Amino acid sequence: MDEKEVWDFLIIGGGAAGLTAAQYGARAGLKTAVIETASAGGQALLINDLENYPGLFPTVSGFDFSSAMEKQAKAFGAAFYTANVVSIDKKNGVFYVSAENETFLSKTLLLATGASHKKLDIPGEAELAGRGVSYCASCDGPFFRNKVVTVIGGGDAACDEARYLSTIASKVYLVHRRGELRAQAGVAQKVVENPKITLMLNQSPVRINGNGRVESVLLKNTLTGEETEHKTDAVFIFVGMIPQTSLVEFIKKDSAGYVVTDENMQTSIPGLFCAGDVRSKPFRQVVTAAADGAYAAYGAENYIRNMG
């Protein structure tokens, strides 16, 4: 790409937020490009059955959903690049986005980098990663067909992944440190009613044991302090997310590290927008990420129009 080429709307991240923004931006006539480190789709790629996106019924896989969004954005004229962005700067009203081998210039910029899985940071987790410790049920679940698996967490993601694993494993244990699940009521109820899932509440993992592969996890009762060894073939960890904000340490964030924006997704830096799981908001779903992306494209279009 010619380094002197200036985009209207440059998007870092190709998840639901970035793909929606690309579609809306290109459709509005903005010269739009998306930079993604790997395959477009983000966290949606990990969803086996996307069942709560309005209008998509019966369910579709996250992969098929993301592929369709990418094709749609390309059909409207959005360009896609595979690169690893290392820094962002703004000079004379233009954003300079530096990747390893090239620099992208743009009038507006959207950060849609999402969030990564939080780790337990307990003994055995790192040592047995890829040997029974996993953060993606749809990726690694098939390796444990007809075996006993344990899911750590109590939110929507943990419950959804436990349900998916129940279609593969012989038995699923869901371990949560509190006395009740914190997932949405409808999601939690499906777990409770699933005969292949056993809840282990008021339990916190202390150590993951195994010689070359996961064999058990040491659990501590959060009420009594009693420790018990729980036999399992795999441990799937879903205990929250960490916003990916290393590129924008200079902008305003909330107490949890998520980027603060206005209602049009603009950050504390004019022309720099943020959308999706990396943004500060009370509810993170595929549909809210898509809405963020649409607002961001709208905001970018207005920003460019008012540049004079």
Give the residue numbers spanning the domain of 229: 119-237
* Whether residue 103 is found in the same domain as residue 183: no
Is residue 136 annotated as a catalytic residue, yes or no?
Answer: yes
Residue 300's identity, in one-letter code, is A
Q: What is the pLDDT of residues 222-237, one digit of tens each?
A: 999 999 999 999 999 9
* Whether residue 58 is found in the same domain as residue 127: no
Q: At what angle do helices 62-75 and 16-27 cross, to 10 degrees?
A: 20
Are 274 and 259 in contact by the 8 Å Cβ rule? The answer is yes
Is residue 159 annotated as a catalytic residue, yes or no?
Answer: no
* Whether residue 161 is found in the same domain as residue 110: no
* Whether residue 25 is found in the same domain as residue 167: no
* Whether residue 78 is found in the same domain as residue 179: no
Residue 147 maps to a domain = yes
> 49, 89, 140, 292: which is the annotated catalytic residue?
140
* Whether residue 104 is found in the same domain as residue 252: yes
Residue 197 maps to a domain = yes
Residue 43 maps to a domain = yes
> 136, 254, 262, 274: which is the annotated catalytic residue?
136
* Whether residue 110 is found in the same domain as residue 246: yes
Residue 50 maps to a domain = yes
Q: What is the pLDDT of residues 97-132, one digit of tens each?
A: 999 889 999 999 999 999 888 999 999 999 999 899
Residue 245 maps to a domain = yes
Distances (CA, A) of 247 to 96, 151, 212, 237, 243: 12, 32, 36, 26, 11
* Whether residue 250 is found in the same domain as residue 112: yes
CB atoms within 10 A of CB 270: 12
If pLDDT is split at 50, 70 and 90, which confidence band does 1 have? very low
Query: Distance (Å, rounded) from C-alpha 134 to C-alpha 123?
Result: 15
Residue 193 maps to a domain = yes
Tell me the CATH number at 285.
3.50.50.60
For the chain, the domain total comes to 2
Residue 1 maps to a domain = no
Q: What is the pLDDT of residues 249-284, one digit of tens each?
A: 989 999 989 999 999 999 999 999 999 999 999 888
- Residue 183's nearest CA partner among 153, 151, 155 is 155
Is residue 160 annotated as a catalytic residue, yes or no?
Answer: no
User: At which of 237, 256, 272 does a domain end?
Assistant: 237
> 89, 139, 254, 262: which is the annotated catalytic residue?
139
* Whether residue 31 is found in the same domain as residue 133: no
- Residue 97's nearest CA partner among 115, 107, 85 is 85
User: At which of 237, 261, 295 does a domain end?
Assistant: 237
In the chain, % of residues over pLDDT 70: 98
* Whether residue 51 is found in the same domain as residue 199: no
Query: Distance (Å, rounded) from C-alpha 9 to C-alpha 79?
Result: 11
* Whether residue 109 is found in the same domain as residue 129: no
User: At which of 203, 222, 237 does a domain end?
Assistant: 237
* Whether residue 112 is found in the same domain as residue 246: yes
Q: What is the pLDDT of residues 142-172, one digit of tens each?
A: 999 999 999 999 999 899 999 999 999 999 9
Per-residue model confidence (pLDDT) at position 308: 64
pTM: 0.77
If you average pLDDT over every residue of the chain, what do you get? 93
* Average pLDDT score over residue span 209-232: 97
